Amino acid sequence: MNRARTTLKALLSALALTGAAGSAQAAALTVVAVGASNTSGWGVGEAAAYPARLEALLRERGLDVQVVNAGRPFDTTSGMLGRLDAAVPEGTQLVVLQPGANDLRFFGTRERRSANIEAMLARLAERGIRAIVYDPAFPRESYQWDGIHITREGHARIAEDLAPQVLEALKPPAKAGRRLGPSARP
């Protein structure tokens, strides 16, 4: 009888731990970085690309987060728009969109690029997914020898630049209604 009770306790403990682990996994945040070759880490490798570095920075700040690298070399905003739903799985909390310059490099127009970015933002909003468009002009020293792809140091700077933006975007939305301060009276 004691042996059966001990076995039952062990089984219940194992189930509880499995459930706790499953809950912890479900609580992990998912951020997807959508872009072209610079997002993918062209010339520096995926481990040195800004999505991996961003994940490390966010984890250092205590976030249980996975940053998925959905960068595809040679992609344009039309391609990103076409693969957005497949690249951004259900349950994603945030997308970092780095549209890059391939549209203009491959004979696209600024207007089409802007329209594609707006379409991606609208589609993400319809799905309840927040987005950050990261589209800065990089200084010359951030580029590799080809003048197109970002250096390791440039990727580190991108991650450092994005980290506070991502932290802010991942904050739970403020509750509706007015908050009263300590001196405010209803």
The mean pLDDT values, 10 residues at a time, for the chain of 186 residues are: 44 38 58 97 97 97 96 96 97 96 90 97 97 94 95 97 95 60 38
> What local confidence, expressed as pLDDT, does residue 93 receive?
96
- pTM of the predicted protein model: 0.78
In a domain, 54, yes or no: yes
Return d(Cα 185, Cα 153) in angstroms, integer.
Answer: 52
> What local confidence, expressed as pLDDT, does residue 42 receive?
97
In a domain, 180, yes or no: no
> What local confidence, expressed as pLDDT, does residue 19 receive?
40
> What local confidence, expressed as pLDDT, does residue 171 receive?
87
CATH number for the domain that contains residue 151:
3.40.50.1110
> What local confidence, expressed as pLDDT, does residue 175 receive?
64
- Dihedral angle over CA of 123, 125, 128, 129, nearest 10: 80
* Boundaries of domain holding 71: 34-170
Return d(Cα 170, Cα 158) in angstroms, integer.
Answer: 18
3-class SS of residue 96: strand
Q: Provide the pairing of β-strand 29-35 with 94-98.
A: parallel
In a domain, 181, yes or no: no
Task: Please answer whether residues 126 and 20 qualify as being in contact, where contact means their C-beta atoms are separated by less than 8 angstroms.
Answer: no
Q: Provide the pairing of β-strand 29-35 with 65-71.
A: parallel
Strands of 65-71's sheet in order across:
65-71, 29-35, 94-98, 130-133
> What local confidence, expressed as pLDDT, does residue 172 receive?
80
In a domain, 11, yes or no: no
Cα–Cα nearest to 122, from 87, 81, 92: 81
**Total domains present in the chain:** 1
Can you list the pairs that 24-27 forms with residues at least 24 positions away whose Cβ atoms lie under 8 Å?
24/64, 27/64
Return d(Cα 72, Cα 82) in angstroms, integer.
Answer: 12
Cα–Cα nearest to 99, from 91, 84, 151, 53: 84
In a domain, 17, yes or no: no
In a domain, 42, yes or no: yes
Q: Take residue 142 and report the two structure tokens written for it.
A: 């951030």
